[in-house]
Amino acid sequence: MRVPDLIRHAACDFLTEYALLIDEDRLEDWVELFDEACDYKVVTRENVEQGLPNVLIWCDNKNMLRDRIASYRNVNEYNLHWDRHVIGAPRFCGELDGVWTIEVGYSLFQTDMEGVSRLFSVGRYRIEFGVRDDIARVKSVLVIADSGLIPTLLATPI
């Protein structure tokens, strides 16, 4: 579809920022990429293909996202690791009332504190965003993980 350069650039800048903020452990800044009324959901392809609604993570507003990150920082125990996202080029699916939808594949590697890396998750994002002041404001991120068998546990966002 025909997509204005401004929108295309905003989407690419957003995806770059999204990945780096998680990978650099700036999760509080990552939350700020989202609109106040937002939706972040991690599901697995196994469930989606069976039409089952189960979620691994579901934050249906920005406060729930803040709670997720606060719990990660202060309460939960998890495997100590660094994340590294590799995100592909987005496919534009459509636009409605200024809200654009894109889909894009990702790979997520995790590296432990002794430097051992493993493929942690592959899948795709379905993202809805609007653009204000040339910057993408995100309404929803749906993560559909092909990797339904989660190694060890899932603590940091995909």
Partner 1 sequence: MSIEVNWERNDYSRIPFRLYHDEEVYALEMERIFRGPCWSYLCLEAEIPNPGDYRTTWVGDTPVVVSRAVGEGGAIHAFVNRCSHRGAQIVRKTHGNAPEHVCIYHRWCYRADGELTGIPFRRGLKGEGGMPADFDMAAASPKKMHLANVNGMLFGTFSDHAESIEDYLGPLGMGMVKRFLHKPIRIIGYSRQMIYGNWKLYAENLRDTYHASLLHEFFVTYGVDRATQKGGVKMDERHRHNMNHAYTGSDTQADALTAYAGTAGVALDRMRLSDTKLLEHTPEFDDRMNLAAPTFFPNGLLIQINHSLGTRQIRPKGVDRHEVFQTLFGYIDDSEEQVRHRLISANLVGPAGFVSMEDGEAIELIQKATGNERQASNVIEMGGRGPLKDLNHRITETPVRGFWSYWAELMGMEPAGGIR
List contacts with partner 1 (CB under 8 A): 42, 44, 46-47, 50, 52-61, 63-64, 66-67, 70-71, 74-79, 148-155
Label each residue of 114-146 as H, E or C.
Answer: CCCEEEEEEEEEEEEEEEECCEEEEEEEEEEEC
Minimum separation from the CB atom of position 92 to partner 1 (A): 29
Rounded least distance, CB 156 to partner 1, Å:
10
- Of 42 and 108, CB closest to partner 1: 42
Tokens found for residue 113: 């504190």
Beta bridge partners of 130: 137
Nearer to partner 1, 131 or 147 (CB): 147
- For residues 21 and 43, which CB has a smaller minimum distance to partner 1 in the complex? 43
User: How far apart (Å, rounded) are the C-alpha atoms in residues 83 and 112?
Assistant: 9
